[in-house]
C-alpha cells in the first residue's frame, strides 16, 4: 500500500473534512482553553505548509509545518483517519515534514500534543522519531493537558 504525500491547498472537501474531524477530536479530549489545533483558515497562513497523505486515491492523513522563525518550525494538525492507523501514514507524514523543514534550513522542530491516554499513540510516534519532552515554547504555557516536545534536525 503506497502512501503519496502531496502539498495541499486546503480546498478539497476531503481535506476540510479531516481538519474538522481533527478539531472535533481535540475538543473531545481537551478543555477549550487547552485546544491548540488550527482551523482551515489558520492553516492557510503563509507561515504554514500543509500536506495530505493519500492511499489508493483516498485521503489517509494530514500534517502541517508552521515556521516559528528561520530556524524553528512547529508541527501542527497531524491527524490520520482511524481506518488508516497502524499503516504507517503518521510516520510517513512526520518524516516528510522533518525533511521539508531540514530542506528549508530549519534546525529544530517543536510540537504540542495532548496528555490524555488518547494521545499516547502520537506521543510514542514522536518519541520514536527522536522528539523529547521540553518546556512550553513560543507563547504556550504550562497546562496539564499539554505535553511539549522538540528535536534537533
DSSP string, 59-127: EEEEEEEEESSSSEEEEEEEEE-GGGTTTTHHHHHHHHHHHHHHHTT--EEEEEEE-SGGGHHHHHHHH
Q: How confident is the model at residue 97 (pLDDT cuts 50, 70, 90)?
A: very high
In DSSP terms, 73 is beta-bridged to: 67, 109
Q: Which residue range is the domain that position 114 belongs to?
A: 3-152
pLDDT tops 90 at residue 31: no
The CATH number assigned to the domain holding 55 equals 3.40.630.30
Binning pLDDT at 50, 70 and 90, where does residue 131 land? very high
Closest residue by Cα to residue 20 from 33, 4, 38 = 38
Among 15, 16, 33, 35, which residue's Cα sits nearest to residue 25?
35
Q: What is the pTM of this model?
A: 0.94
What total of structural domains would you count in the chain?
1
pLDDT at 100: 98
Q: Could you say which DSSP state residue 129 is in? A: T
Residue owning grid cell 496528555: 115
Pairing mode, strands 146-152 and 132-134 = antiparallel
Q: How far apart are the C-alpha atoms of 32 and 44, rounded to whole Å?
A: 22
Mean pLDDT, rounded, for 36-64: 96
* Mean pLDDT, rounded, for 7-26: 94
The two beta strands, 108-114 and 72-80, are parallel
- Tell me what pLDDT residue 39 has: 92
**Contact yes or no for 10/38 (Cβ under 8 A):** no
> How far apart (Å, rounded) are the C-alpha atoms in residues 123 and 126?
5
Amino acid at each position: 500500500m503506497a502512501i503519496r504525500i502531496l502539498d495541499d491547498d486546503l480546498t478539497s472537501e476531503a481535506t476540510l473534512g479531516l481538519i474538522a474531524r481533527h478539531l472535533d477530536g481535540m475538543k473531545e479530549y481537551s478543555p477549550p482553553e487547552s485546544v491548540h489545533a488550527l482551523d482551515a483558515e489558520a492553516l492557510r497562513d503563509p507561515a504554514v505548509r500543509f500536506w495530505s497523505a493519500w492511499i489508493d486515491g483516498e485521503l489517509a492523513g494530514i500534517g502541517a509545518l508552521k515556521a516559528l522563525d528561520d530556524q524553528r518550525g512547529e508541527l501542527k494538525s497531524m491527524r490520520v483517519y482511524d481506518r488508516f492507523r497502524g499503516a504507517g501514514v503518521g510516520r510517513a507524514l512526520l518524516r516528510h515534514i522533518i525533511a521539508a523543514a531540514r530542506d528549508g534550513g530549519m534546525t529544530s522542530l517543536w510540537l504540542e500534543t495532548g496528555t490524555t491516554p488518547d494521545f499516547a499513540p502520537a506521543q510514542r510516534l514522536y518519541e520514536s522519531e527522536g522528539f523529547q519532552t521540553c518546556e512550553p515554547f513560543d507563547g504556550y504555557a504550562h497546562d496539564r493537558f499539554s505535553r511539549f516536545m522538540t528535536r534537533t534536525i
